[in-house]
Structure 1
Amino acid sequence: MLSVTGANRGVGLALVQDLLEHKPSAVVFAGVRKIDSLKTGDKLKDLADKYGDRLNLVQLSSTSVEDAREVGKVILDKAGKLDVVIANAGIMTGHSPILSVPLEDMRNHFEVNTLGPLILFQGTAQALFKSQSPKFAVISSGGASLGQLFDQPITAYATSKVGVNMIAARINQEHEKENLAAFALHPGVVETDMSAGHEFSPDFKIITPQESAQSILKYVDGATRSSAGGKFWSAPDDAEIPW
């Protein structure tokens, strides 16, 4: 049983599609902000119609404690446990240098990118603890590394991802007895709506959402508490990132 947030576009949608197409036993709970807004022709809605009970759409706004608690209850009622959470939902808006970054941008990024995964963990923890080897994967960013600072004006985004890295590390440290593996993953520099219009360094390799999803799922599949717990990893490069 897997839960993926931010599932209606970009990497989240690619994760859901890959799971359904290549893992016949997977049952997926896909979080979207407004289920009522999905209609026939939307890729996620079409996948739900095609795969039936294997894909469960759940209402999940990143900053809603109530939504996260309700999703946890739904998963327990329907599946009895939750093996994997991929906390993918996030925002990257504005590319201001530190001198002029609006404080409102900082707050918005922190609310969604840092507190969102914490809220999600708190809401789904009891379902995760029913699994023998639960995994909580936070989609972070290489831009959050303090050891290899990117030369990009992404202060709000990068700072919020530094924060969520700490969330992942704390989850992992505090839940050894549940054998939970929590870790932060860099998904690569991905060609999505969120990255559109942003000028990346020519040193960066741009990948598709499908390529990113494949690398993420490969890492998550092989992850254990001893091999992955508490780590910050680049999924496309299969290499550890300095904190």
Structure 2
Amino acid sequence: MSTQRTILITGGNRGIGLSLARSFHAQGFKVIVGVREISKAPQLDGVIAVKIDSASETDARDAVEELKSKYDIETLDVVIANAGMGSHYAPMKDIDLAEFRDHYRVNTQGPLVLFQAVYPLLKEGSKFIIISSALGSIGLDHDPNVGVYGSSKAAVGYLGRQIHFEEPHLISFFIDPGWLDTAMGQYVADQFGVAKPPMKVEDIIPQLVKLINNATRENTSGYFWK
């Protein structure tokens, strides 16, 4: 008899995070969603909601203690650092430094804080995955006005790859799911005068789930997947 696998997804109350939570729930996983406000947690039978604001330095650790003491969760098979922000689009000469710090706090520091908190629950072969963006690739042509968001994603990509090298018992990688029709995706479209994002969440989620389920240390870990 197989043991039920457990997955934690931050930003699990909407968009990509919610769709992933639904998909893994349908596959029989014990699903935990991290949300900024518990009142906005998805109403899915059996899904556990814990408070994790990615801007907080203490929420993730408190959530792990709650999972251990209240729900007897001792291991996590998969952790997906999905929560992020992208709300400041300006040329480099006009970047608001407060916005810059906020984006790094959520998009870069947030996944690091999450990793440190869940680390005691990660076992041999556990997966730590960061939802990222091709805008964080230094080698690609750079779109205008995305310096804040793109640089924060470039930095978190380094951290995810560093985890791969430092923790040989784990599978750590990062994924660009594409420009999807989420609330953030539509916000970006509005900023650039595009009617709507070119890709639908419902078309991409099955590909993400397949990639995550089939990921191995040898063939997947340490790389950026698009």
State TM-score, norm by structure 2. 0.89
Gaps of 5+ in 1: 39-43, 235-243
Determine if the alignment matches structure 1 residue 187 to structure 2 residue 187: no
Corresponding residue for residue 175 of structure 1? 167
The amino acid across from 1:181 in the alignment is: I
User: Contact between 2:60 and 2:114, CA under 8 Å: does it hold in 1?
Assistant: yes
Asked if structure 1 preserves the Cα contact closer than 8 Å seen for 2:12 and 2:42, the reply is no
Residue 150 (structure 1) shift: 3.4
The equivalent of 2:57 in structure 1 is 65
Q: How many residues align?
A: 216
User: 1:180–1:206: structure 2 CA closer, same or farther, 3 Å change rule?
Assistant: same
Asked whether the 8 Å contact 2:90–2:145 carries over to 1, the reply is: yes
Change (3 A) 1:138 1:196: same
Q: Contact between 2:174 and 2:223, CA under 8 Å: does it hold in 1?
A: yes
Report the secondary structure of 1:150's partner residue: coil
Residue 29 (1) aligns with residue 32 (2): yes
Identity %: 34
SS of residue paired to 2:218: helix
Partner amino acid, structure 1, of 2:93? L
Moved over 3 A (4+): 74-77, 199-202
Which position in structure 1 is the counterpart of 2:13? 8
Contact 2:181 / 2:197 at 8 angstroms: preserved in 1? no
Q: Which residue of 2 aligns with 1:239?
A: none
Aligned with 1:198 (options 188, 191, 195): 188
Q: Does 1:18 align with 2:15?
A: no
| Residue aligning to 1:241 | none
Partner of 2:91: 97
CA contact (8 A) 1:11 1:210 kept: no
Q: Distance in 2 between matches of 1:122 and 1:31?
A: 15
Report the Cα distance in structure 1 between the residues aligned to 2:100 and 2:57, rounded to whole angstroms.
20
Separation in structure 2 between the aligned mates of residue 229 and residue 45 of structure 1, nearest angstrom: 30
Match of 1:109 in 2: 103
Which amino acid counterpart does residue 68 of structure 1 have in structure 2? A
In 2, the alpha carbon distance for the partners of 1:214 and 1:153 equals: 31
State the shift of 1:205 in Å: 7.1
Q: Counterpart in 2 of 1:207? A: 199
**Residue in structure 1 matched with residue 42 of structure 2 by the alignment:** 45
* Residues 101 and 156 in structure 1, CA contact (< 8 A), matched pair in contact too: yes
Work out whether 1:150 is the aligned partner of 2:142: yes
Query: 3-state DSSP class of the match of 1:173?
Result: helix
On the 8 A contact 1:141/1:187 being kept in 2, the answer is yes
| 1:26-67 deviations in Å (ceiling 9; x for gaps) | 0011000111x33xxxxx4322xxx22xx1001111122321
CA distance in structure 2 between the aligned counterparts of 1:6 and 1:28, rounded to whole angstroms:
13
Aligned to 1:237: none
Q: What's the offset of the Cα at 1:201?
A: 9.3
1:120 aligns with 2:114: yes
The CA deviation at 1:103 is 1.3
**Partner SS, residue 125 of structure 2:** coil
Amino acid at match of 2:89: H
Please list every run of 5 or more consecutive structure 2 residues that lacks an aligned counterpart in the other structure. Answer: 1-5
